[in-house]
Amino acid sequence: MSAMDKMWLSFYAMGFMAISMGLIYASRYKLKNRIIKFIFALTAYSLLLISFIAMVYLVFNGPTGGA
């Protein structure tokens, strides 16, 4: 994986974390319907898990051999 691909993956992971934060907030404080709350929470925790796995991969993969 090139350095540019790693950069984009880290941006996607940070974006997923931000979206997850918003979905959890909406799920806990703004929504009243239990089914929609569950769907929002499930989506948020799924995005959080994906971003966690991506960040662990990026941290332990190490730097690329730069020029």
Report pLDDT digits (tens) over 7-40.
999 999 999 999 999 999 999 999 999 999 999 9
**Assigned domain for 53 exists:** yes
pLDDT at 63: 79
**32 in a domain, yes or no?**
yes
Q: Confirm whether 4 is domain-assigned.
A: no
Give the residue numbers spanning the domain of 19. 14-61
What is the predicted pLDDT for the residue at 3? 86
Residue 49 lies in a domain: yes
Could you give the number of structural domains in the chain? 1
Residue 26 lies in a domain: yes
- The reply to whether 37 falls in a domain is yes
Residue 67 belongs to some domain of the structure: no
Confirm whether 38 is domain-assigned: yes
The pLDDT of residue 64 is above 80 = no
Q: How far apart are CA 67 and CA 56, in angstroms?
A: 25
User: Where do the H-state alpha helices sit in the chain?
Assistant: 3-25, 34-61
Identify the pLDDT of residue 66: 60
